[in-house]
Amino acid sequence: MRMWNFLVKLRKRGGLKVEDVLTASQVAALLQVHLRTVYKLARRGSIPGIKFGGGWRFSKAKILKMVAGDGGKDSRDLVSSPERKGLE
């Protein structure tokens, strides 16, 4: 409930829109990866997100920018070497 109130206040101020904030499940669907992968990447800072209350929240714009290659991190950094094995 706190997250919702926070988002409503931001929206009223002309800032962030509710639809601009993604849950981990929505990010997993967008990136076509498993939900556990999203949590792992978020914990190690490989994808931009914020731990808020009991869950993670992500900026849709930042995720899309990262996917487009403008996020500052090489997309190859998202997958560790053992997981990347066979992709090269």
SS3 state at 7: helix
Judge contact between 57 and 49, C-beta under 8 A.
Answer: yes
What CA–CA distance (Å, rounded) separates 63 from 60? 5
Instruction: Write down the domain spans for the chain.
Output: 20-70
Judge contact between 58 and 30, C-beta under 8 A.
Answer: no
Task: Kindly tell me if the per-residue pLDDT of 84 is higher than 90.
Answer: no
Task: Output the six-digit token pair for 44.
Answer: 């190690």
- Separation in Å, CA 36 to CA 27, 42, 76, 85: 11, 10, 18, 19
Task: Output the six-digit token pair for 45.
Answer: 């800072």
Q: What is the mean pLDDT of residues 46-73?
A: 83
pLDDT digits (tens, 9 = 90+) for 4-56: 565 565 556 555 566 688 999 999 999 999 999 999 999 999 998 888 888 89
Position 67 scores a pLDDT of: 87
Position 40 scores a pLDDT of: 96
